[in-house]
Amino acid sequence: MNLENISIRGQLLYDEPMSRHTSLKVGGAADLYAEPEDADDLLTLVRSLKECQSPWLAIGRGYNLLVRDGGIRGAVISLARFNRISEAGERLIRAEAGVENLALVRFAQERGLGGIGYISGIPGTVGGAVKMNAGAYGSGVLERLESLTLLSGDMVAEYRREELDYGYRRLALPVGAIVLAALFRLVECDPHQTEEEIRKDTELRRSKHNVGFPSAGSFFKNPSGQAAWRLIDQANLRGVTVGGAQVSEVHSNFLINRGGATAADFLGLAEKVKEAVFAATGVQLEEEVRIVGEEP
Domain boundaries, given as residue ranges, for the chain = 11-78, 85-207, 211-292
pLDDT on residue 212: 85
Dihedral of CA atoms 238, 239, 242, 244 in degrees, nearest 10, equals: 140
Residues noted as catalytic: 169, 218, 288
Dihedral of CA atoms 100, 103, 108, 114 in degrees, nearest 10, equals: 70
| pLDDT tens profile 205-216 | 776 667 789 999
pLDDT on residue 158: 93
SS3 sequence of 154-221:
CEEEEEEHHHCEEECCEEECCCCCEEEEEEEECEECCHHHHHHHHHHHHHHHHHHHCCCCCEEEECEC
pLDDT on residue 1: 64
With beta carbons less than 8 A apart as the criterion, state whether 283 and 226 touch: yes
**Residues with pLDDT less than 50, the chain:** none
Nearest Cα to Cα of residue 91 among 186, 191, 194: 186
The neighbour count for residue 177, using CB atoms within 10 Å, is 17
To the question of domain 11-78 being in CATH 3.40.50.720, the answer is: no
Measured between alpha carbons, how far is 125 from 254 in angstroms, rounded to an integer? Answer: 19
CATH for the 211-292 domain, from 3.40.50.300, 3.90.78.10, 2.60.40.1930, 3.30.420.10? 3.90.78.10
Measured between alpha carbons, how far is 37 from 97 in angstroms, rounded to an integer? Answer: 12
**CB under 8 Å, gap of 24 or more: what pairs does 82-90 form?**
82/38, 82/39, 82/127, 82/180, 82/181, 87/111, 88/183
pLDDT on residue 118: 83
pLDDT on residue 204: 72
Quote the Cα angle for 76-29-4, to 5°: 65
Q: What is the dotted CATH code of the domain comprising 85-207?
A: 3.30.465.10
Measured between alpha carbons, how far is 149 from 236 in angstroms, rounded to an integer? Answer: 44
pLDDT on residue 273: 98
The pTM (predicted TM-score) of the whole model is 0.86
